[in-house]
C-alpha cells in the first residue's frame, strides 16, 4: 500500500460551470499528479477505478488551474455543451481575472467554438459570477459534510490510519462527493 501523504489530501481543484438557463455542466476535478503520468493515463480513464461518469478529471503537478487544465475544460466541458446549443444561441462565457483564463491558447480555443467571452472586472466577481454568489457555498458545505462523515468512519483506533488509505481511494471519494454535491444543487438555484 502507498502511504497517504498530506499533499495527497491537501489540494484538489474543482471547476464548476453553470449556464443562464440553469444548466449545470459537468464539474472538472483537477487532482495533484504528473501530466501524462500514471494517474492520468491509467487510473482516470479506467472504468475499474469506479470514478463517477458525471464528473470530468485531469491532473496538474500542484492541482492548480493552469493553461493545460483550462484547455481540457474547453475541450471536455464547454465544447460538448456548445455543440448541443441551438444555432440561434451565441454562447457567452464570463471568466474572472485569473491569468490562465485569458491566455492566448485558451482564448483562441474558446473563440474557435463561436463563443464570446469576457473577463469580469476586478472586485465584481461577487456581483456577477453565479458560482461565487449562490452555488459555491452549498457545494462546498456538501463536500465538507461528506468528507467529515468519511473521516469519522475511519478506524482511528489503529493509530496509523494514513498507512491503510490509498491515494486512489481518496481521489475516488472526492469524485463521488463532487458528483453528489453537484447533483444536489437545484437547477432553480442555478437559474436564479
3 state DSSP class of 55: coil
End-to-end C-alpha distance for the chain, whole angstroms: 47
pLDDT of 112: 95
User: Which structural domain, as residue segments, surrounds residue 124?
Assistant: 6-191
Q: Is 123 helix (H, G, I), strand (E, B) or coil?
A: coil
Most confident segment among 78-87, 89-98, 126-135: 78-87
Q: Is residue 138 part of a domain?
A: yes
Asked if residue 1 belongs to a domain, the reply is: no
12 domain-assigned: yes
Half-sphere exposure of 178 (CA within 13 A, CB side): 26
pTM score: 0.87
CA nearest neighbour of 53 among 64, 65, 45, 63: 45
Would 106 be classed as within a structural domain?
yes
Looking at the domain assignment, is residue 156 inside a domain?
yes
By mean pLDDT, which of 34-38, 144-148, 156-160 is the weakest? Answer: 156-160
Each as own residue / partner, the long-range contacts of residues 18-23 (CB below 8 Å, 24 or more positions apart, any chain) are: 18/130, 18/131, 18/135, 18/190, 19/81, 19/190, 20/191, 21/191, 22/187, 22/188, 22/190, 22/191, 23/81, 23/187, 23/190
Q: What is the pLDDT of residues 20-79, one digit of tens each?
A: 888 899 999 999 999 999 999 999 988 778 899 999 999 999 999 999 999 999 999 999
107-117 per-position pLDDT tens digit: 999 999 999 99
Residue with more model confidence, 152 or 135: 135
Answer whether residue 181 is part of any domain. yes
Number of domains in the chain: 1
CATH number of 107's domain: 3.30.420
122/48 Cα distance (integer angstroms): 44
Amino acid at each position: 500500500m502507498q502511504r497517504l501523504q498530506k499533499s495527497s489530501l491537501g489540494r484538489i481543484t474543482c471547476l464548476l460551470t453553470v449556464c443562464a438557463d440553469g444548466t449545470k455542466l459537468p464539474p472538472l476535478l483537477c487532482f495533484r499528479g504528473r501530466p501524462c503520468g500514471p494517474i492520468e493515463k491509467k487510473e482516470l480513464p479506467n472504468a475499474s477505478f469506479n470514478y463517477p461518469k458525471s464528473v470530468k478529471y485531469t491532473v496538474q503537478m500542484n492541482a492548480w488551474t493552469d493553461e493545460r487544465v483550462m484547455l481540457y475544460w474547453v475541450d471536455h466541458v464547454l465544447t460538448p455543451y456548445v455543440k448541443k446549443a441551438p444555432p440561434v444561441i451565441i454562447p457567452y462565457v464570463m471568466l474572472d481575472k485569473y491569468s490562465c483564463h485569458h491566455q492566448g491558447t485558451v482564448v483562441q480555443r474558446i473563440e474557435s467554438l463561436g463563443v464570446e467571452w469576457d473577463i469580469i472586472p476586478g472586485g465584481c466577481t461577487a456581483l456577477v459570477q453565479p458560482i461565487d454568489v449562490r452555488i459555491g457555498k452549498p457545494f462546498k458545505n456538501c463536500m465538507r459534510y461528506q468528507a467529515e462523515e468519511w473521516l469519522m468512519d475511519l478506524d482511528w483506533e489503529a493509530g496509523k490510519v494514513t498507512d491503510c488509505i490509498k491515494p486512489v481511494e481518496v481521489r475516488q471519494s472526492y469524485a463521488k462527493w463532487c458528483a453528489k454535491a453537484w447533483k444536489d444543487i437545484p437547477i432553480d438555484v442555478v437559474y436564479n
